[in-house]
Structure 1
């Protein structure tokens, strides 16, 4: 029931309102009631798609939404005459919409919005001819929404990518003073995803943005190294200066206007780097200067080939294409045991049941619209989410909002409205609905229900009490979605062992790759390490989200670990990933820094971390101390070697200590996994 104070981009909202206003105006001038209803609906739904966390250019995003919605509306008109074809199509495309959650919440909601086009014409059109006319008017409305995306102001290129990079550098600025703390992972994942959606042909023009991401990766590792050493030496006195530089870079990237950092800040940082005995301090300042240079490059809308970031962002800038990566992620979910596959099946079944229940309800004693279950099915589809918390929150929020919106629409329908007044009132209600899009389900559905019910009643000439039927349909659809989740749940509580096991399997591949890089200079595959670390971050983010959802679920009492143990698991996983990042960052650069003894660790580490992954999934636990016993002898022999150069000795000692502490972390994780209640 929470109401959030979160609003979309004001310019994006303004364009959406202009599209709806233009659609209503055209519908009013035609004098055609059907055009007056369908044009704003098409413009409104397409505009919603442009407000949901876009990662493409706004015109491309709106065009994709318009094509998908229009195609679904046309299909609905074609299958309208056959209930079997309509329900089959509805199930298939609802399943596809559920799979769209593979790419995030926003793509999943966009998929559901597209399916609404199928439901409108397939459910509400009286015949094929009228259905095609409805689809045509809605398509014209989506075209208006696309056209408004071409209106000024135009701003900088790659706005979504700039937003994520700006948020990334702000996150680094906040974390710069937390010595020894783990850096955030979500901003890196969001930035990589946003840049990864750019087609390869357009990437040279965004080269500086890719470079900023690569530099942020290196800054993260270097800052973690400084923070790790500060556990004994205390926090650096220049944390505020580092934070100021990162904040200025963030503002430069987001606004396209240079935010100069004061010269005195750079002077203090240079003196610190020169006086510090740690190479990480000098490297940190050098990376800050490089990030500042790239930020200046990014202020130019025509960057061209000014920067070639292949080395800084291995595997992303010149890696696999967007289509190949999309297909790869989808293949991972096309498994009957996959979480989102089951969600897609559940969504398909739920929407079909919602449609049948809506048709079975009939007219609510003359107050509803006969022979269709559109509103019940729509509510079921928009409420049913992959997790318990979102499903229940959306169910209650939409139900209460629909009741309040129905009351408002009923009150408005008591007055006599002229055709022009109706158009103005319709635009006003749609504008408020767009403004409250991201403030919570209660506020959104209040204004959305009021707008749609008011529009349908006034244009269609239905009696005022039908407002109550719309609210009742929403309550039924929300209750149905919550009941379906309760009867056919996908509990995050039960997913924790699987997600933890998946992360350990990735870590099982990553750690030997990193250790191999210490056996000699230049050994190891940086591209493989980068890809594995990227995958590790994504799975850790899934683990964090899954653990966060556990506490609100009724099934948490049957969790194999209690809440305290789940928090410990999350902390140990983050700590292990942090040590891996530090080891990866400080691979040997000169022969004396190499640790050939690490070659003896790759096989036992691979075997034992793999066994730990299997234990997390339910196999026999790994006895505590097993990994420590395999590692200690190798580390002791490596410590007996003393190179003559002090810098090489320091680098070796740091790597050995990191390896030892990582072993302690994995041993702690093994101990927690062994306590699982099976």
Structure 2
């Protein structure tokens, strides 16, 4: 047991000390830096340090990730952090039980809001920290309100600097999410072009892009119609890319050229969406498209042209939408992107408030990991506040009324995962120790006011420059800054000790009340198999009778399957870093095999969708029998995954005989325009590999390649 925990802690520590790239998003950093200089300069003239703190809080509000307009979000956040939270804390001073209640409720609210995004939850937690800080520090209502006044003035000065150019394009947050989706597709295409097997980036970026669009009010969705259309095009492009990837009979040179050209086009679309400038090249230039038309094999050429023609058409539409996105000023029912066929439910669904209330209501169940973590986070933070009060002034070595630093550290460090909690706890502690030493050394400088405020500006500049590099360097400079704000050496000692103890409380809570993702994997896998089985069955029925295809139903099932798969794959990634491999149902290699099988089944569903016959084409009657058998098989697999029972041997054999006669026929495909035996044979073999992986078995070597009807 000790070996497992020791190895996991060392891995978390290495993760925590990774150094990222400094000076990320320099335009935003310059605006924040201007606000800090302005607030600190005015504070120097008036000899009020709280102006510097308020300007920093305004910059922090602007830097926390957001989806809505930057000015509106930063203004609302600045008011909450600089005025509302501190004012509540001032009136709570002297009522210990009220401060504890506010601490618990505020952190619990922030933990629940994490379900909608890190930025929203962190704003609630930081506001609660400021409430608790004023409740600890305020000597009285009158003096406390004076502190709030200076905080508000500093926040206003910091926010004014957010008005400086350059300005973001409209829907900047949504643009970034959609651009990230196309960048992920381009990266996958580049890996395939080099002959590698890409770990597909979806459904993560796809779900993030969809979630960002759901936050738009219904009244603004017409103006963002091209963004909805671009996400729909990305879904189709992903399916066509998978269809070409599964075409193993296509020559590798042609496949490489195909994916290299597709990667260039996708990167161009991503750049156009992110920057607001037109793409470097347009699709309507009279060229033959980004995909080569010949591979040297006549049969493969037919398949390649059929698949890549659809991809070329989708890429052309995406480029057209990207160019229109730059110029669009409005939209409506007459706009071609108003009702995109892929996203009709998303585009016409309820607004953010209704969806948010439904999501919160769904999370208020003990089975919800969000609710359990929010309760654990609130309880741990409140305990940290009590520990801070119990330590007093550290026997004269530190400062009194410092409990909010323990409260802050515990609330920031404790995460739902073992690796994140320990990586942040260890790295923040190391950074705080280094920052405390720097703060102690700076306390030896002469007591000149101008020098003091100049040092504050320099330390905040270093914080801004290194905030994107990771926890150690960021905490080092912010600890040194806090030490300079306080009483020199005693402030440095207090901030350092509180950070180390708060991190220790968070890590202890993670050990005493763990949330092992390994325990959740069987249930998450069972849920995904059931949803994916329903989706595959619905697709097979659509093959049997194309005229009755319901696009809205397929869209809903596809989104549910992606969401369930994302939940399983994220839990599997977190489980890899947990120190309980010996207690988990699947070992590390078995879990990686299982994740690969899940990914392959999803590609099979994408292949069925990409090759789906049109409503005017004749159906494949035998697909209905395939759908019934597939539904029964997936239900058995879901039960086996959830209960731990071993799947029966030969379950998938019942699927092979559905198209057996057609697959054995070496002649042309029975269905016009579709290689029916090949398509369903690929899906069958992927389901068979999933069955083996659920039982902890390795797929047979013969499954690595599929013999097509040709």
- TM-score norm. by structure 1 comes to 0.91
Conserved in 2, the CA contact under 8 Å of 1:38 and 1:138? Answer: yes
* Cα separation, partners in 2 of 1:474 and 1:464, compared to 1, 3 Å: same
Match of 2:684 in 1: 660
Q: Is the 8 A contact 2:482 2:491 kept in 1?
A: no
- Is 1:198 the counterpart of 2:220 in the alignment? no
Alignment RMSD (CA, Å): 2.8
Q: Which residue in the other structure is 2:308 paired with? A: 281
1:349, 1:375 → 2: CA distance? Answer: 16
Match of 1:613 among 635, 638, 642: 638
Residue in 2 that maps onto 1:53: 65
Is 1:359–1:371's contact at 8 Å kept on the other side of the alignment? yes
Select the residue among 23, 33, 38 that pairs with 1:22: 38
Post-superposition shift, 1:592? 5.1
C-alpha contact 1:379 1:474 (8 A) present in aligned 2: yes
Per the alignment, residue 337 of structure 2 pairs with 308
Q: Does the CA contact (< 8 Å) of 1:624 and 1:670 recur in 2?
A: no
Q: How much has 1:259 moved relative to structure 2?
A: 3.2
Q: Is the 8 A contact 1:351 1:381 kept in 2?
A: yes
In the alignment, the residues of structure 1 paired with residue 523 and residue 85 of structure 2 have an alpha-carbon distance, to the nearest angstrom, of: 36
For the Cα contact (< 8 Å) 2:35–2:55, is it kept in 1?
Answer: yes
TM superposition shift of 1:285: 1.4
Equivalences for 1:135-214 in 2 at 5 Å?
135-177=148-190, 178=192, 183-185=200-202, 186-214=204-232
User: Which one of the candidate residues 93, 96, 106 is aligned to 2:119?
Assistant: 106
CA contact (8 A) 2:66 2:73 kept: yes
Q: Determine helix, strand or coil for the equivalent of 1:298.
A: helix
How far is 1:441 from its partner?
Answer: 0.7
Cα offset for 1:431? 2.2
Q: Deviations over 1:119-150 (max 9, x none)?
A: 21112111222233333333333333433332
**Structure 2 counterpart SS, 1:365:** helix
Alignment of 1:483-522 (within 5 A): 483-522=508-547
Q: Give the alignment of 1:239-278 within 5 angstroms.
A: 239-261=259-281, 267-269=287-289, 272-273=292-293, 276-278=301-303
Deviations 1:208-252 (A, max 9, x none): 222111111111111211221244543433332222222222222
- Indicate how the Cα distance of structure 1 residues 520 and 220 shifts in structure 2: closer, same or farther if over 3 A, else same: same
The equivalent of 2:708 in structure 1 is none
Q: What does residue 551 of structure 2 align with?
A: 526
Could you tell me how far apart the structure 1 residues matched to 2:448 and 2:645 are? 74
Map of 2:9 onto structure 1 = none
Aligned positions of 1:60-459 closer than 5 A: 60-69=72-81, 70-177=83-190, 178=192, 183-185=200-202, 186-234=204-252, 235-236=254-255, 237-261=257-281, 267-269=287-289, 272-273=292-293, 276-278=301-303, 279-300=306-327, 302=329, 304-305=331-332, 306-310=335-339, 311-457=341-487
Task: Assess if the C-alpha contact under 8 Å between 1:168 and 1:187 holds in 2.
Answer: yes
**Alignment pair present for 1:576 and 2:601:** yes
Contact 1:628–1:663 (CA under 8 A) maintained in structure 2:
no
CA distance in 2, matches of 1:642, 1:139: 78
Hey, what does 1:460 align to over in structure 2? none
Q: In the aligned structure 2, how far is the partner of 1:245 from the partner of 1:30?
A: 56
Distance 2:284 2:258 in 1: 12
Contact in 1 for aligned 2:284/2:316 (Cα 8 Å): no
Deviations along 1:521-553, one digit per CA (max 9) or x if unpaired, are: 232322222223223223323323222222322
Which consecutive residues of structure 1, in runs of 5 or more, have no partner in the other structure?
458-462
Q: 1:6 to 1:596 in 2, by over 3 A?
A: farther
1:543 paired with 2:568, answer yes
- Contact 2:427 2:472 (C-alpha < 8 Å) held by counterparts: yes
Matches within 5 A, 1:593-672: 593-618=618-643, 620-629=645-654, 631-636=655-660, 648=672, 650-672=674-696
Farther off after superposition, 140-149 or 361-370: 140-149
Q: For residue 603 of structure 1, report the CA deviation from its aligned partner.
A: 4.3
Partner of 2:49: 37
Cα distance in 2 between the residues matched to 1:216 and 1:582: 15
- Alignment partners' CA distance in 1, 2:185 and 2:675: 25
2:491 is the alignment partner of 1:478:
no
SS of equivalent to 1:65: helix
Question: Does the CA contact (< 8 Å) of 1:273 and 1:282 recur in 2?
Answer: no
- Pair 500,111 (structure 1): closer, same or farther in 2 beyond 3 Å: farther
CA spacing shift, 1:614–1:67, aligned 2, 3 Å: farther
The 1-side partners of 2:109 and 2:418 are apart by 20
- Cα drift, residue 623 of structure 1: 1.2
Deviating more after overlay: 347-356 vs 300-309: 300-309
Q: Which moved more, 1:82-91 or 1:290-299?
A: 290-299
Does the 8 Å CA contact 1:406/1:450 hold for their aligned counterparts?
Answer: yes
Q: Deviations over 1:241-270 (max 9, x none)?
A: 222222222222222222333899973537
SS at match of 1:617: helix
Q: In 2, Cα distance between the equivalents of 1:271 and 1:559?
A: 45
| Gap change, CA 1:608 and 1:76, over 3 Å in 2 | farther
Is residue 565 of structure 1 aligned with residue 581 of structure 2? no
CA contact 1:37–1:455 (8 Å) conserved in 2:
yes
Say if 1:301 and 1:265 are closer, same or farther in 2 by CA, change over 3 A.
closer
**SS of equivalent residue, structure 2 residue 546:** coil
Equivalent pair of 1:99/1:341 in contact (CA under 8 Å): yes
Distance apart, 1:560 and its partner CA: 0.9
Q: What displacement does 1:346 show?
A: 1.1
| Residues 611-661 of structure 1 deviation map (CA, whole Å, 9 limit, x = unaligned) | 3223222253331322432x2343347769999987616343344324423
1-structure distance, mates of 2:612, 2:665: 18
Q: Is the 8 A contact 2:527 2:638 kept in 1?
A: yes
- Give the conservation status (yes or no) of the 8 Å contact 2:268–2:279: yes
Give CA-to-partner distance per residue, 1:567-590, whole Å, 9 cap, x none. Answer: 011101111111111112222215
- Shift in CA distance, 134/604, structure 1 to aligned 2, threshold 3 Å: farther
1:427 is displaced (CA, Å) by 2.1
Deviation of 1:55 after TM superposition, in Å, equals: 1.9
Separation (CA, whole Å) in 2 of partners of 1:218 and 1:503? 21
Q: Is the 8 A contact 2:406 2:499 kept in 1?
A: yes
| CA distance, structure 2, for counterparts of residue 152 and residue 115 of structure 1 | 32
Aligned-pair CA distance for 1:668: 2.5
1:355, CA displacement in angstroms? 0.8
| Whole-angstrom distance in 1 between the partners of 2:336 and 2:136 | 54
For residues 610 and 309 of structure 1, do their structure 2 counterparts lie closer, same or farther at Cα, with a shift above 3 Å needed?
Answer: farther
Structure 1 stretch 182-191 or stretch 474-483: which is displaced more?
182-191
